[in-house]
Structure 1
């Protein structure tokens, strides 16, 4: 059976989706948020289950969820609201094929043994579909509220990676263990530098989660990653607003672009050519209905990049 790492890049470059499954940053979405009385940054998740299942059925490669323990209005973003591991457990039960990733769990805020148990549980319940993105976080206000030391987060991160790698073997008294034990090693992706050196990340992690950027940005970043990590996957994200006109030219905005599908194909092809292995599309700026957008990308964009089952097995 293929591992989640092998499935992520099987056949080459692949395309996934970053949650939440809402377009609340679009003009119409923001108007609906205000009408509903939701706080700025809080998405509408009324149809998230149906959209997750649609993404699975249409052949997107992965769903990625963020880990934002506390809502801080100064950041203007509540992410997907649900606790990351709880949500992945739910998604594992309603999908069949799509990979399930975290982008990314803030390790130093969490109890290490429970993080291991949560991740191993998702890996088991999803039948090996977990991609465990991990980080040290970028919100200093959270650390004292969780009783954690912000300054030692880098050392804490390294300790937790060692525990996750070992399955807690050697960390517990004789006879005790964390169940379930992962059948295969947990696939670990680092978001950012996580207070580590590039060399340490390249040696100790299975992949990289990089900030969004243009192809020229990723050309530099992916090359730096390859120097320390070889062929390990390099993953990033695009905040996409897909225009109805397939020929609308690409117009960049912060973390992404508004574009028609033909220029989107060109952009994705450029990202593949500079060393990106997987792109997750983020739709909170998208002006069109998400089910319609997913369907167009699946029929007109994915075939340019995802090989069919027959091609993959050839």
Structure 2
């Protein structure tokens, strides 16, 4: 298994976070100061991937603006300030973006980063966004399938457009770009396993994760490797021996229990975990450095990254 980091890199969800420190803050809108330094630090420390989300519109009722920045613009910036860490989306909302734009932007990021892009895609789950884009919410599953097919075709042969003299440039850095499904996006597990290069699901403890990964592995065509990926909210406590206290989509715990918790996820069939430090009572830098020193050496798998078909 390998470990990555999910943006935004702040402590916005922690008690006494940005608002408690006298900084301007609205709940759900992260403090973006220091993001460059923290992304560079995660790269230098050896984390496998940086993951960011696509939240087109901030809806106060959801209380979550993601990492605020447009994902493709931000990925271009991150490609320029990092060297080795993979750059992943979790996830681009395909029905709200034209697939020709997505194909071009993703291939651009892939070229600028030297082939480090993993494109996580989804159908979206916020109905209020769709009317603003003139898109039908109920047909998002069908639109998602069409967009996935279009992306595959364009990256394989960009001349396959209705007017064959037109092409989408640039081509990806390699033969294609890994596509992972974030959630099932209104599709069956079997469709996702057949058509995508990996599957990211929301966090569960190992006991509840194993049936999910077992079903995934049994659905993946024989002879193909398609990893199961998850995220985890982490409140890393200063006491390294602090026991596990479950929180929504993660846990509050010390580093010794974190290593054990992650090992259990690995045993359940998870190939990669993206750690999210928003609820952490420790500053992000300190949590990154502590995990890199004491936990990361046990999780440095290289075969946990999806490869493009």
TM-score interval (norm. to shorter)? over 0.9
Q: Is 1:217 aligned with 2:217?
A: no
8 Å contact from structure 2 (residues 235, 252) kept in 1 = yes
2:244 corresponds to: 250
Equivalent position to 2:297, from 300, 303, 308: 303
SS of residue paired to 1:79: coil
1:276 corresponds to: 270
Distance 1:169 1:188 in 2: 21
1:62 corresponds to: 49
8 Å contact from structure 2 (residues 232, 250) kept in 1 = yes
Deviations 1:210-262 (A, max 9, x none): 01111012101101111112531100011000011111111111100011011
SS of residue paired to 1:36: coil
How far has the Cα of 1:169 moved from its partner?
4.0
Deviations 1:41-69 (A, max 9, x none): 11111100000000000000000000000
User: TM-score if structure 1 supplies the norm length?
Assistant: 0.91
Give the gaps of 5 or more residues in structure 1.
Answer: 1-12, 309-314
Question: Matched residue pairs, number?
Answer: 295
Distance 2:87 2:204 in 1: 23
Which one has a larger percent helix, Structure 1 or Structure 2?
A: 1
8 Å contact from structure 1 (residues 164, 186) kept in 2 = no
1:31 corresponds to: 19
How far has the Cα of 1:184 moved from its partner?
2.0
Distance 1:31 1:85 in 2: 28
Q: Is 1:181 aligned with 2:181?
A: no
Q: What do you get for the CA RMSD once the two structures are aligned?
A: 1.3
Give the gaps of 5 or more residues in structure 2.
Answer: 303-309
1:45 corresponds to: 32
User: TM-score if structure 2 supplies the norm length?
Assistant: 0.93
8 Å contact from structure 2 (residues 232, 273) kept in 1 = yes
How far has the Cα of 1:152 moved from its partner?
1.2
Distance 1:87 1:19 in 2: 11
Deviations 1:89-129 (A, max 9, x none): 10000000000000000000001100100000010000000
CA distance change for structure 1 residues 96 and 238 in 2, over 3 Å: closer, same or farther? Answer: same
The 4+ residue runs of structure 1 with deviation greater than 6 A are none
1:163 corresponds to: 150
1:311 corresponds to: none
Distance 1:83 1:56 in 2: 21
How far has the Cα of 1:30 moved from its partner?
4.5
Distance 1:41 1:137 in 2: 18
Distance 1:207 1:214 in 2: 20
Distance 1:299 1:169 in 2: 48
8 Å contact from structure 2 (residues 2, 300) kept in 1 = yes
